[in-house]
Amino acid sequence: QVQLVESGGGLVQTGGSLRLSCAASGRTFSTYTMGWSRQAPGKGCDRVAASHWSSSSIYYGESVKGRFTISRDNAVNTVTLQMNSLKPEDTAVYYCAASRFWPATTVRSYGYWGQGAQVTVSS
Please choose, from the candidates 14, 1, 21, 19, the residue with its C-alpha nearest in 3D space to the C-alpha of residue 79.
21
**Per-residue pLDDT reduced to its tens digit, 17-66:** 999 999 999 878 889 999 999 999 999 999 999 999 998 999 999 999 99
Residue 102 has a pLDDT of 92
CA gap 3, 67 in Å, rounded: 27
Residue 97 near residue 37 (C-beta atoms within 8 A): yes
CA–CA distance, 107 with 92 (Å, rounded to integer) = 16
pLDDT tens digits, 54-76: 989 999 999 999 999 999 999 99
pLDDT of residue 1: 81
Beta bridge partners of 18: 83
d(CA 40, CA 116): 12
Q: Does pLDDT of 118 surpass 80?
A: yes
Q: How far apart are CA 102 and CA 116, in angstroms?
A: 22
Question: What does the pLDDT average to over 107-113?
Answer: 94
- Identify whether 41 is preceded by a cis peptide bond (ω within 30 of 0): no
